[in-house]
């Protein structure tokens, strides 16, 4: 294994390959940067020396105080459909790509600053981020990673020593984000709108080389790219739905080619099961409600497919039929991933006829009774240990199905406890922890972070982290811009 690096050796393959999609820019210099939290475990996993991450050199890098003559930073260009309406120029309005680095396992990562100041893509924004939303992104990203859901992650959060004016002045902050890449559906929309087929082809080839190298030499590699991204997004949607995650702003600029979850602005976790659940204050029409997320993913993938048509066939009209055929596989692919996932959460390891109906009936029952998804799934193992569970005759049907598993009660309990979490970021507790952190007390945030990054391990005395909040309507999330 290679030694840990301090700092990473940054490269700029994306900006060099696609200069029309990356604008060289400098971060604002923070007045009085302070490290709030550093992700030492992630740093070690990525081959970065944790001591460097906690030191002055890293702080200077993240806060714009590093003035090396060869330091390159890039604001990335992309377009996007926002709540169904097309915006031809979005881009990194308050973010910069510091560079790419290759970890000790040979994987390439982006290091990205969010809240680093205005760029030419800023439009009316001030280019700043505030502490609460950046800590939210850190917390939720780490929770998602612990749940096995593909996600961008945070390497650190720093404060800038400045105030950002929102409804009131708030501490300015920068999130140091790590991602497999920042390639988005919106990136392809921007490139397609430029009208340069060579640039679009270069973007597609770069995406294939970086994320799907197994299809790089295929004759139909652009159809292969579409199929690969469809599959990744179907997997991602299934994983979201299995834990009640609501993204809140599934615009095409927030759909990654890698299949990672990105942008945790107005996200939240559903508690009582209701497919129409919406938390985002800006989603007034419920476009991105919990139960609509798979269909929206397919809609977004259709926008992606549109950009690839001139690459799939010399005459784009000839590409419509094969692209449409692939897009039409999305519902079945999503359903397969979801049913496989829910079966495992029910302790089922082999598929027999009736399993899908059993799973669907459980979700219908939870919806009718407005039960909490996470705690109900976790209670299944407790029931096998002897606790009561009030799910009517569904429980009897489930117990009968488990008899086909050829497993002991203890083996079934272990299966269930290994996949059904105790702790997820409960919305009311997230808000409490963030409010206290902004007020200067980080301890509640760190306590919650410890629980949600070890979601399957029960800690005595911390039952409140497992309990859903008040089911009454009215909770709203905000994007923080």
- Of residues 432, 456, 453, 454, the one with CA closest to residue 443: 432
Neighbours of 55 (CB within 10 A): 15
Residue 235 structure tokens: 């997997």
Cα three-residue angle 341-347-353, rounded to 5 degrees:
75
Query: What kind and span of H or E run contains 444?
Result: helix 443-452
* DSSP character at residue 3: P
Angle at 306 between CA 303 and CA 308, to 5 degrees: 120
- The whole-angstrom separation of Cα 252 and Cα 144 is 21
Catalytic residue among 253, 263, 283, 372: 253
Three-state secondary-structure class, residue 342: helix
CA angle centred on 149, ends 146 and 154, rounded to 5°: 65
Do the Cβ atoms of 177 and 134 come closer than 8 Å?
no
Q: Which two three-digit tokens encode residue 122?
A: 């800023």
Say which residue the tokens 């996200």 belong to: 267
Tokens of 264: 């945790």
Is 70 annotated in the active site? no
> Which long-range CB contacts under 8 A does 281-287 form with residues at least 24 apart?
281/476, 281/477, 281/478, 282/83, 282/249, 282/478, 282/479, 283/83, 283/248, 283/249, 285/83, 287/83, 287/84, 287/250
> Using CB atoms within 10 A of its CB, is residue 71 exposed (0-12), middle (13-18) or buried (19+)?
middle
Contact 204, 308 (CB under 8 A): yes
My answer on whether omega of the bond before 310 falls inside 30° of 0, hence cis, is: no
Q: And the tokens for 12?
A: 């700029």
Longest dimension (CA), the chain: 70
**The tokens 């994987």 sit on which residue?**
107
CA dihedral 282, 174, 64, 18 (to 10 degrees): -50
Task: Report how far residue 91's alpha carbon sits from residue 69's, in angstroms, rounded to the nearest whole number.
Answer: 25
Enumerate the active-site residues. Answer: 253
């Amino acid at each position: 294994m290679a030694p840990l690096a301090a700092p990473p050796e940054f490269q700029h393959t994306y900006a060099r390959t696609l200069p029309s999609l990356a604008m060289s820019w400098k971060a604002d210099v923070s007045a009085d940067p302070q490290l709030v939290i550093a992700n030492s475990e992630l740093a070690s996993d990525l081959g970065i020396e944790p001591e460097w991450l906690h030191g002055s050199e890293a702080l200077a890098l993240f806060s714009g105080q590093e003035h090396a003559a060869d330091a390159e930073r890039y604001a990335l260009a992309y377009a996007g459909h926002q709540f169904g309406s097309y915006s031809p120029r979005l881009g990194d309005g308050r973010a910069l790509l510091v560079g790419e680095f290759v970890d000790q396992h040979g994987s390439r990562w982006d290091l990205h600053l969010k809240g680093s100041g205005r760029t030419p893509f800023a439009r009316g924004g001030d280019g700043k981020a505030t502490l609460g939303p950046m800590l939210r992104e850190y917390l939720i990203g780490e929770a998602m990673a612990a749940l096995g859901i593909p996600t961008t992650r945070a390497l650190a959060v720093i404060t800038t020593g400045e105030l950002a004016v929102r409804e009131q002045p708030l501490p300015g902050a920068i999130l140091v984000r790590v991602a497999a890449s920042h390639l988005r559906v919106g990136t392809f929309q921007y490139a397609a709108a430029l009208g340069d087929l060579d640039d679009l082809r270069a973007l597609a080839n770069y995406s294939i080389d970086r994320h799907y190298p197994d299809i790089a030499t295929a004759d139909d590699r652009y159809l292969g790219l579409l199929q690969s991204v469809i599959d990744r997004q179907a997997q991602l949607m299934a994983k979201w739905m299995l834990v009640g995650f609501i993204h809140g702003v599934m615009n095409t600029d927030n759909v990654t080619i890698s299949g990672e979850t990105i942008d945790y602005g107005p996200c939240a976790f559903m508690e009582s099961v209701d497919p129409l659940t919406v938390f985002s204050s800006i989603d007034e029409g419920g476009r991105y409600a919990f139960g609509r997320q798979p269909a929206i993913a397919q809609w977004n993938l259709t926008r992606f497919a549109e950009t690839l048509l001139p690459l799939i066939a010399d005459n784009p009209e000839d590409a419509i039929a094969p692209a449409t055929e692939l897009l039409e596989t999305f519902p079945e692919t999503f359903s397969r991933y979801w049913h496989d996932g829910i079966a495992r959460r029910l302790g089922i390891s082999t598929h027999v006829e009736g399993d899908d109906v059993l799973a669907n009936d459980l979700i219908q029952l939870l919806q009718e009774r407005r039960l909490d998804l996470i705690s109900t799934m976790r209670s299944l193992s407790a029931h096998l240990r002897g606790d009561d569970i009030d799910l009517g005759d569904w429980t009897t049907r489930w117990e009968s199905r488990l008899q086909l598993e050829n497993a002991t009660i203890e083996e079934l309990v272990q299966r269930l406890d290994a996949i059904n979490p105790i702790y997820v970021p409960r919305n009311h507790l997230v808000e409490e922890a963030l409010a206290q952190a902004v007020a200067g007390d980080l301890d509640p945030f760190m306590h919650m972070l410890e629980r949600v990054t070890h979601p399957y391990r029960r800690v005595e005395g911390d039952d409140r982290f497992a309990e859903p909040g008040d089911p009454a309507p009215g909770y709203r999330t905000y994007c923080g811009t």
